[in-house]
Amino acid sequence: MRIAVLSGKGGTGKTTVSASLALSLGNYQYVDSDVEEPNGGIFLNPKITDILPVNVKVPAVDENKCTGCGICSKTCQFNAIAVIKGMVLLFSEICHHCGACIIACPEVALYEIEKTIGVIEKNEDATFMQGKLNIGEPISIPIIQKLKDEMNPHIPIIIDCPPGASCNVVESIEGCDYCILVTEPTPFGLHDLKIAVKLVEKMGIPFGVVINKSSKDSKIIHKFCDKNKIDILLEIPFSRDIAEAYSKGRLPVHENAEWKEKFRAMYEKIKRGVNK
């Protein structure tokens, strides 16, 4: 089973929930697809043994063949090529690797070269994987795709998604059996939860909600979930002890076996719902 953990915004507790769930299951593959800032490793302490580069193909120009006609520039939908005074300028950072310019060039002056945009890192048995996007690279989807290629379908997979509801999140949750939406009981939390709900509903993926930093204010989330018949899977209380432990790289499941039980029960509930 593949479970994605996401939230409408960063800092909500996505990694707390995904790492706690993984640690409670024992047998799991944890995949951190928050490639701009992967931090699940802080809690899971994996020993990284494999680092695989993620390469994409970008165009290069053979100036001896190029006539400066400008067709490549007009073809590119992403403005990644400009032709100025007959000279081709390539902006590989914003290239989407579609290859259209190469097909369109009448002089066969464009060809593909490999460019490394980041890496994926794994521990020895690949129960932990994380993607890392190189600084300055704006397009992370190829790294998420590579992580998905490397997933092990024979054990439960927990994906710690990027924050928000961008195309990186869409790529991360596509193909998942279930989504856990993590929120916090504030008006901003509710606003972002609504965006996340719209996304998973549109993609037709079953989902439930975990309230992190739960307090008496959680009624705004309960009200929304009751009205929309959304399952609240778990509530993690707003607590100084939890916050202090977190700042030292410790999760509630590290500190207290009861929390492991709660996360396991949540997993069983999700599994029953998915297998219905």
Binding region for ligand SF4 (CB under 6 A): 59, 61, 66-72, 75-76, 78, 80-81, 83, 88, 95-101, 105, 107, 109-110
Task: Please report how the helices 219-227 and 187-203 are oriented relative to each other, as an axis angle in degrees rounded to 10.
Answer: 30
Pick between residue 80 and residue 251 the one whose CB is nearest to ligand SF4. Answer: 80
Using only C-alpha atoms, what is the Rg of the chain? 22
> To the nearest whole angstrom, how small is the minimum distance from the Cβ of residue 90 to ligand SF4?
7
Q: With respect to ligand SF4, which residue has the nearer C-beta, 66 or 251?
A: 66
Let me know how long the chain is. Answer: 276
CB nearer ligand SF4, residue 21 or residue 61? 61
Residues 4-37: b if buried by 16+ CB within 10 A, e if exposed = bbbbbbeebbbbbbbbbbbbbbeebbbbbbbbbe
CB of 223 to ligand SF4, least distance (A): 45
Q: The tokens of 236 are what?
A: 């993690």
Task: Write down the least CB distance from residue 119 to ligand SF4, Å.
Answer: 22
Consecutive H or E run containing 6: strand 2-6
- Compare residues 103 and 274 and give the one whose CB is closer to ligand SF4: 103
Give min distance, CB of 169 to ligand SF4, in A.
22
Return the number of the residue (94 or 243) whose C-beta is nearest ligand SF4.
Answer: 94
CB of 81 to ligand SF4, least distance (A): 5
Q: Are the CB atoms for 231 and 208 separated by under 8 Å?
A: yes
Distance, C-alpha 213 to centroid of its chain: 22
Our CB check for ligand SF4 shows the closer of 31 and 88 to be 88
Burial 47-58 (b: 16+ CB within 10 A, else e): eeeeeeebebbb
Sequence-distant (≥ 6) Cβ neighbours of residue 191 within 8 angstroms: 8
Least distance CB 118 / ligand SF4 (angstroms): 18
Of 81 and 200, the one with the shorter C-beta distance to ligand SF4 is 81
Residues paired with residue 140 on neighbouring β-strands, in sequence order: none
Tell me the closest approach of the beta carbon of residue 139 to ligand SF4, in angstroms.
10
Element (H or E) spanning 115, and its range? Answer: strand 110-123
